[in-house]
């Protein structure tokens, strides 16, 4: 343990990160920029070749950061998992999706753990960062690694430290977001805390991996439940003829006891639509029903259907039927100003519209073409925006409120706007053609 800690302090320890997506890539670069030699592992050969060529495939991660580390000899990337014997510290940042039955899909974690087990050597630290249910680290990873006859906390070290990446956030990043760490043993905690203390301002040490795993889920459940609440209030406010965004702005002036959350077309991203159900699934093992999680999920999953109802209603009021109407979706990314479309609510909305006979196109300045996802297989390119194009659509639906959009110009040149994000705030003179959803 002392040798590994000393190597970490001297920046001599080599860091390996498995999974080079929206979590793994920023983490890989941050370690490299803090003076560590880093090696990235991924099964996607295109990602590996892109990084080897000094190119980032994530919009908010500049290629210059990749080039600097590659040219400086600090970064190597590979699809060869036999090289997992090289790093002193291995961080797992692989996906943790849900099955169609909303149960944890642990294939990526299990397969990764098996790859590590083949090359695990004495003195290595392994940290799981992928969000999962409480018990994952000790129930899945630990038994696999102990099969080699190694003793945890003596021969190797194992911990959980949940990722807290917020793509596109200009204020918070890997270096200034406090890092929760839970080790299987005290020595595991000490080594993992030393590692993250070398790259972050604050390490929050907790008693066990289970506490750290639960903390991550609580963070996302808190947001999921509050978003569901405000989405439900949006529907009620609409029925009562009240602007929910004005209500939220008014309530937010209270200096205590209220945190504003804002409604939308549904949840997106890898975390909030998925992670809460990991805890709901695990809760059943203890004969416990996590009712808030389930109810919030039902409300949030229903929001695309509410948006569809508002589109249909708006078209009907203009003497048009949804079938054969042309609809332009503005924004595919799940949040503004990023190119991340994981679990985007735009996809179910588009699918429902097409199933109802509408002719659907989209525009997103950050996503020039749609890529296949686990659920959807759209094949289309972003439609360029100009006056003639906008006027040709029966309805323009704002799903993601990117800063690049000139909303006044868009509204001026559209027949009908359905706004799910309050992006048209202040354009009261055009209220006759704006529908909030």
User: Which of 306, 295, 335, 329 lies closest to 244 in space, CA to CA?
Assistant: 306
Torsion of CA 138, 142, 144, 149, to 10 degrees: -150
Q: Which residues contact 57 (CB under 8 A, 6 or more apart)?
A: 46, 47, 50
- The tokens of 407 are what? 């909303």
User: Which of 33, 25, 107 lies closest to 74 in space, CA to CA?
Assistant: 33
Cβ atoms of residues 208 and 21 within 8 Å: no
Q: Which of 89, 93, 188, 271 is catalytic?
A: 271
Q: Which residues contact 148 (CB under 8 A, 6 or more apart)?
A: 117, 120
Q: Is 424 helix (H, G, I), strand (E, B) or coil?
A: coil
**Full DSSP string of 19-88:** --STTHHHHHHHHHHTT-EEEEE-S-HHHHHHHHTT--SSTTS-HHHHHHHHHTT-EEEES-GGGGGS-S
Cβ atoms of residues 142 and 184 within 8 Å: yes
For residue 157, what are the β-bridge partners?
Answer: 125
Question: In the annotation, is 271 catalytic?
Answer: yes
In the block, residue with structure tokens 């994952």: 136
* Catalytic residue positions, numbered: 271
């Amino acid at each position: 343990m002392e040798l590994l800690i000393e190597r970490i302090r001297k920046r001599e320890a080599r860091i390996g990160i498995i999974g080079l997506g929206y979590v793994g890539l920023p983490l890989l670069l941050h370690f490299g920029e803090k003076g560590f030699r880093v090696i990235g592992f991924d099964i996607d050969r295109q990602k590996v070749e892109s990084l080897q060529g000094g190119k980032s495939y994530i919009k908010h991660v500049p290629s210059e950061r990749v080039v600097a580390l590659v040219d400086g000899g600090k970064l190597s990337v590979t699809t060869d998992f036999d090289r997992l014997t090289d790093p002193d510290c291995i961080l797992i940042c692989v996906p943790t999706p849900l099955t169609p039955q909303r149960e944890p899909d642990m294939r990526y974690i299990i397969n990764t753990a098996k790859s590590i087990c083949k090359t695990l050597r004495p003195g290595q630290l392994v940290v799981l960062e992928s969000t999962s249910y409480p018990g994952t680290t000790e129930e899945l990873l630990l038994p696999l690694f102990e099969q080699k006859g190694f003793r945890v906390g003596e021969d190797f070290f194992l911990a959980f430290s949940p990722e807290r990446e917020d793509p596109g956030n200009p204020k918070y990043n890997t270096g200034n977001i406090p890092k929760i760490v839970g080790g299987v043993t005290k020595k595991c905690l000490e080594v993992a805390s030393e590692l993250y203390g070398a790259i972050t301002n604050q390490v929050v040490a907790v008693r066990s991996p289970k506490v750290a795993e639960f903390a991550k889920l609580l963070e996302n459940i808190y947001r999921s439940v509050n978003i569901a609440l405000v989405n439900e209030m949006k529907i009620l406010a609409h029925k009562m003829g009240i602007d929910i965004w004005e209500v939220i702005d008014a309530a937010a002036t209270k200096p205590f006891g209220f945190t504003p959350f804002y409604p939308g077309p549904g949840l997106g991203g890898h975390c909030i639509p998925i992670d809460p159900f990991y805890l709901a699934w695990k809760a059943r093992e203890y004969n416990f029903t996590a009712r808030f999680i389930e109810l919030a999920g039902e409300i949030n999953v229903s929001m695309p259907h509410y948006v569809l109802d508002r589109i249909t209603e708006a078209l009907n009021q203009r003497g048009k039927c949804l079938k054969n109407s042309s609809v332009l979706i503005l924004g595919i990314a799940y949040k503004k100003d990023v190119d991340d479309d994981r679990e985007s609510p735009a996809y179910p909305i588009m699918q429902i519209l097409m199933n109802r006979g509408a002719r659907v196109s989209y525009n997103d300045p950050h996503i020039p073409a749609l890529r296949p996802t686990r659920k959807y297989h759209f094949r289309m390119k972003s439609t360029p925006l100009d006056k003639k194009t906008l006027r040709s659509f029966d309805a323009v639906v704002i799903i993601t409120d990117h800063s690049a959009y000139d909303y006044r110009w868009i509204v001026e040149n559209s027949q009908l706007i359905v706004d799910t994000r309050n992006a048209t705030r202040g354009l009261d003179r055009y209220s006759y053609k704006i529908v909030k959803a």
